[in-house]
Amino acid sequence: MAENTNKGGALAGLRVVECATVVAGPLCGRLFGDFGAEVIHVEHPKKGDPLRDFGFTIDGINPWWKYYDRNKKLITLDISKPRGREILFDMLKDADIFIENFRPGRLEAWNIHYEDLAKINPRLIMIRVTGYGQTGPYSSQPGFGTIAEAMSGFAEMTGEPDGPPTLPQFPLADTCAGFYATMAAMFAIYNRDIVGTGKGQVIDVSIWESLFSILGPNALVNHVTGRSPRRIGNRAPTSAPRNTYKTKDDRWITIASATQTTAIRMFELMGMPDLVKDPRFNSNSNRVKNVDELDKLVTAWTTQHTRDELSKVLHAAEVPFGPINNVADIMTDPHAIAREMIVEHTDVDGRKLRMEGVFPKMSATPGRVNRVGGALGADNAEVFARIGLTKEQIAELSKSGII
């Protein structure tokens, strides 16, 4: 059983070794760590994880590093060297999951093959996260989330009709890949431990396919209609009204009255109940066809009221709506506070950090934040001692650049 500070976590006893950088692979490991697994994050002794230098660092705090690499033990090891490879193999003898995100063929060039790992640990599950997958003509190319967001169709269908394709400013594709990798690993654990095969397997996750798979039945739509999704701003091709609407105090809200009952309540609230009898707006399909006229009416109404005024009446009428929040709004929102969407954690230096909480919620085995991303090699002594290395050996390996 793996030692872990989150004794009651759903994954207590699960051991994960993570040789991955930036977001997709490390997010997968972080999710395991959030729910009690022991996650050992392996970094190059000199280079470290580039995520440590993402965005900005203020007073020694890099938000990306602190967040994505929380709940992990941090060690340094050059697995490209023969001695580093040997140490990695020793660590994987009793591991459940091995996460890596090197370009296909890189591990094999270092003589690290799943077939050899399976001989020493047949139960090992290996997660391989890459831009395009382990096979196919693009597999050898470097892959990043931004490229996947372009190639998946996401950018082409996002933005205003007369504007350029639009990319997200957060790691959308990487996040999808991290989620899929975690889910697939749990499928593999179920097959190994509950179905009872006792065997691990290789999980091949591509960032490109991860995002493509969540964008809806676009391929089937194209097959049936011969058309591809087009940019329609904040509207939806499936329902109306659905858009962002400006308010009297220059704020914004979003409304999604897709069902007939919510549309009726919306029209009544606008003081225009007869709209439901108007052939342009008497059904969802007709509202979609006449969305320009509908949005003009809704905007004329919302701009007569402040965001707070609209929030009260729309909530009271149970019309699906939400304010367009920034993160500062969320951090003071009473519902977000009640749900622990934001939590406070005391770092090793005593500083209190507020960050995103653990999700999803579990009643019997909730996840928690036990530690945040720390110093390079912070847990070398503990982890390497466990596989039999003495202090003198660790010091020598450090001197030679292996650790």
Q: Two tokens at 257?
A: 């009255």
Structure tokens at 131: 């831009």
Which are the contacts of 379, defined by CB distance < 8 A and separation ≥ 6? 40, 73, 74, 75
Q: Annotated active-site positions, please?
A: 174
Residue 58's DSSP bridge partners are 61
Strands 242-246 and 252-256, sheet pairing: antiparallel
Tokens of 122: 């047949």
What are the φ/ψ torsions at residue 71 (nearest 5 degrees)? 60, 35
Tokens of 278: 């108007």
In whole angstroms, how far apart are CA 281 and each of 196, 199, 269, 378?
Answer: 56, 57, 15, 62
CA-based torsion, 211, 212, 217, 218: positive or negative:
positive
